[in-house]
């Protein structure tokens, strides 16, 4: 878990930071580090020096910060302000996919205004995680050195902030969303039609995530279909999509440039990293995950994909 | 569409033969040739001489028989008896996946007792399509030359004829079912756990179909994940699972033997053939489908699968 911490940030990510209570059929866990940012940055940290942009309240445990920092993540972009950290609670159905949100308390996240530390401004890779599109735009404008920007979003923003969302989408290189969100945003059902419509909105690449069914990468010229790694010991699916996006972008940041070939390889790594993440609660599985475990499972997944 | 018809049957299939009414949001079609057997045999006919075992009533249009036979399929195993052909009607939801059954009239299918023509008895490959497990067993006992037998089933038999179904499962080499059926039959949710349980029931291979999300092939030693080909022009998904199973087994029958490599290749071909089938109603797309179109789409799908 000891990683180099003095190198410059190659990629930064913005997103939510929370304290979660998670209930499954067999386990109930309280006060877990959650939100999109811990998952995305931890997943990215296996590949490249990653900076985090977010906000926590005065109640955010210092133990969480220490554990997060142990991934070698730069936390210069995480503001600590007076008030309560974003809190969220959910209960999973026995299918471990459908969930009921039991609590959402925005706390300091409600007035969050992301600011980019000077040391992140020249980072070439950016992941705009799932926050208000206006804030995604605000922080992106500060990123002078951004060369490849990916955007993640969710139903809520499509419903209540569509014009702002469309504005950010026009400025990014890659858009990632799940199948339901792609349908909501485009008004089309067929995912190939959705991808056509999304590519017309501006990005060169669209990644449609389908959870346990994998993901599809679309460009104007090609399609790549990547399966999810079949997980045997699913503990907690929370954050899987964020880990997926984080590992994907971290892999590209390590490469330092983007080609079709690298995008495909990055998605296979993303699938594998996310599959490890759901084997534990919060960042627990990532905390004892090694690069050789990742490489081994990547080889395994590739064998499963080879006709 | 002219195919060699004098060669011996390499594979035979049993299943239902019906007359369908299909309604989608945009199109309503009546009196279509349907049931599992026309789809499975037509899909198989692209690869190997295929025999059909089923029953039709005296109202079965001779035009249907002619169109079916035009695939080069041997219809010696299709009994024509006095009474009405099995009739089925359904309406698709706008997602083109969920459907409501509007009519099920078994007709002559209710008293169906499959008998194997002498000319099929030495065929090495068999697909026991979705009919009562007792009848699958009855006809399998007549198949002296069967070397590789695949079994397809459905929710209904798992619910009302589980002991008989378990008995047939013990006798086959490969079991194919969809994800919901795998869960119902095993009582497990995780598909890897389902596959473990199904392999313990006897077959060497299990194929779990996930519709538009592709399929998984499990053996005791390995997993292969094959995506569905992303269809742009979905007209009618009826029979897709039957076309899938038919093309898969037809491909193996053409090869004449079974290896892990061939099983994987067969699943890619099955995915492609099924993707063509849903572009039209009934067998309409298959009637103008060429082997070079299939090969071209197989190459395309393989590029979509290559990291």
In this predicted model, what pLDDT tens digit does every residue of B142-188 receive, in sequence order? Answer: 999 999 999 999 999 999 999 999 999 999 999 999 999 999 999 99
CA distance B120 to A64: 69
pLDDT of residue A96: 87
Q: Do B189 and A224 touch (CB under 8 A)?
A: no
Cβ atoms within 10 Å, residue B117:
17
Cβ atoms within 10 Å, residue A49:
23
What is the tens place of the pLDDT at every residue in B20-51? 999 998 999 999 999 999 999 999 999 999 99
CA distance A204 to A184: 20
Look at residue B237 and tell me whether its pLDDT is greater than 80: yes
A184, with CB counted inside 10 A (0-12, 13-18, 19+), is middle
pLDDT of residue A94: 86
Select from A225, A267, A301, A304 the residue whose CB has the most chain B CBs within 10 Å, as the one to mutate to test that interface.
Answer: A225
CA atoms within 13 A on the CB side of A250: 29
Q: Which chain B residue has its CA at the smallest distance from A233's CA?
A: B190
Q: Are A153 and A130 in contact (CB under 8 A)?
A: yes
Q: Which one of A94, A222, A230 has the shortest CB-CB distance to B191?
A: A230
Q: Which chain B residue has its CA at the smallest distance from A227's CA?
A: B225
Per DSSP, the residues of A180-210 read HHHHHHHS--SHHHHHHHHHHTS-SEEEEE-
pLDDT of residue A5: 57
Closest CA to B19 of B108, B91, B85, B90: B85
CA distance B249 to B149: 9
Q: Which chain A residue has its CA at the smallest distance from B211's CA?
A: A213
pLDDT of residue A1: 43
pLDDT band at B202 (very low <50, low <70, confident <90, very high): very high
What is the tens place of the pLDDT at every residue in A69-89? 999 999 999 999 999 999 999
CA distance A92 to B269: 37
Residues 6+ apart with CB under 8 A from B196: none
Tell the CATH topology of A11-305: 3.40.1190
Q: Do B225 and A305 touch (CB under 8 A)?
A: yes
Q: Are B244 and B215 in contact (CB under 8 A)?
A: yes
Q: Do A231 and B191 touch (CB under 8 A)?
A: no
Look at residue B119 and tell me whether its pLDDT is greater than 50: yes
Which residues on B lie below 8 Å from A191 (Cβ)?
A: 230
Which residues on A lie below 8 Å from B267 (Cβ)?
A: 307
pLDDT band at B2 (very low <50, low <70, confident <90, very high): very low
> How close, in Å, is residue A205 to chain B by CA atoms?
15
Closest CA to B8 of B130, B106, B123, B111: B123
pLDDT of residue B255: 98
Q: Which one of A94, A190, A305 has the shortest CB-CB distance to B234?
A: A190
Q: Are B275 and A225 in contact (CB under 8 A)?
A: no
The residue-averaged pLDDT of B123-136 equals 96
Q: Do B190 and A264 touch (CB under 8 A)?
A: no
Q: State the DSSP code for B69.
A: H
pLDDT of residue A2: 47
Q: Which one of B191, B230, B302 has the shortest CB-CB distance to A191?
A: B230
Q: Which residue has the tokens 């980072």?
A: A123
pLDDT of residue B6: 72
pLDDT of residue A4: 52
Which residues on B lie below 8 Å from A193 (Cβ)?
A: 232
Residues, chain B, total? 307
Q: Are A44 and A98 in contact (CB under 8 A)?
A: no
Q: Which residues of A touch B (CB under 8 A)?
A: 94-96, 189-193, 210, 213-214, 216, 222-227, 230-232, 234, 264-265, 267-268, 302-307
Residues, chain A, total? 307
What's the ipTM? 0.91
Which residues on A lie below 8 Å from B305 (Cβ)?
A: 225, 305-307
* Whole-number percent of chain B with pLDDT over 90: 95
Please provide the average confidence, as pLDDT, over all residues in chain B.
Answer: 95
User: What is the domain partition of chain B in residue ranges?
Assistant: 11-305
Ranges of residues in chain A whose predicted pLDDT is under 70: 1-5
Q: Which residue has the tokens 């002296």?
A: B144
Q: Which two tokens stand for residue A127?
A: 């992941």
pLDDT of residue A72: 97
Cβ atoms within 10 Å, residue A82:
8
CA distance B273 to B280: 12
pLDDT of residue A56: 98
CA distance A203 to A167: 11
* Whole-number percent of chain B with pLDDT over 70: 98
Beta strands in chain B (DSSP E): 11-14, 18-23, 28-34, 50-57, 74-81, 86-92, 99-105, 125-128, 148-152, 174-178, 205-209, 215-218, 223-226
Q: Which one of A190, A216, A307 has the shortest CB-CB distance to B232?
A: A190
pLDDT of residue B1: 44
Q: Which two tokens stand for residue B34?
A: 């349907």
Q: Which one of B213, B231, B304 has the shortest CB-CB distance to A224?
A: B304
Q: Do B225 and A230 touch (CB under 8 A)?
A: yes
> How close, in Å, is residue B94 to chain A by CA atoms?
8
Q: Are A201 and A153 in contact (CB under 8 A)?
A: no
> How close, in Å, is residue B188 to chain A by CA atoms?
10
CA distance B207 to B247: 13
Q: Which two tokens stand for residue A145?
A: 């050195």
Per DSSP, the residues of B107-146 read GGGGG------GGGTT-SEEEE-SS-HHHHHHHHTT-TT-
- Please indicate, yes or no, whether the overall pTM of this predicted structure exceeds 0.90: yes
CA distance A133 to B246: 48
Q: Which residue has the tokens 């009637």?
A: B287
CA distance B191 to B222: 14
């Amino acid at each position: 878990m000891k990683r180099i911490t003095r190198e410059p940030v190659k990629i930064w990510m913005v997103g939510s930071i929370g304290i979660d209570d998670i209930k499954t059929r067999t386990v109930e866990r309280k006060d877990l580090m959650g939100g999109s940012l811990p998952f995305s940055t931890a997943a990215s940290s296996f590949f490249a020096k990653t900076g985090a942009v977010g906000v926590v309240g005065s109640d955010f445990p210092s133990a969480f910060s220490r554990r997060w920092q142990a991934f070698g993540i730069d936390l210069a972009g995480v503001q600590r302000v007076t008030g309560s950290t974003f809190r969220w609670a959910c209960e999973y159905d026995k299918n471990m996919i459908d969930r009921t949100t039991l609590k959402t308390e925005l706390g300091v996240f409600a007035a969050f205004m992301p600011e980019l530390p000077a040391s992140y401004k020249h980072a070439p890779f950016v992941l705009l995680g799932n926050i208000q599109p206006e804030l995604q735009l605000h922080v992106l404008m500060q990123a002078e050195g951004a060369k490849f920007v990916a955007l993640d979003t969710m139903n809520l923003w499509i419903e209540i902030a569509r014009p702002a969302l469309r504005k950010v989408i026009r400025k990014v290189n890659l858009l990632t969303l799940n199948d339901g969100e792609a349908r909501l945003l485009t008004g089309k059902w067929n995912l190939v039609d959705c991808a056509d419509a999304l590519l017309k909105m501006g990005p060169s690449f669209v990644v449609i995530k389908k959870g346990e069914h994998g993901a599809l990468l679309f460009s104007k010229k090609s399609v790549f279909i990547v399966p999810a790694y079949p997980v045997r010991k699913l503990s907690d699916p929370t954050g899987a999509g964020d880990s997926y996006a984080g590992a994907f972008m971290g892999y590209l940041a390590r490469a330092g440039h983007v080609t079709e070939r690298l995008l495909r390889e990055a998605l296979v790594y993303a699938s594998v990293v996310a599959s490890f993440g759901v084997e534990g609660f919060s960042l627990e599985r990532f905390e004892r995950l090694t690069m050789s475990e990742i490489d081994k499972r990547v080889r395994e997944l590739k064998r499963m994909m080879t006709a």
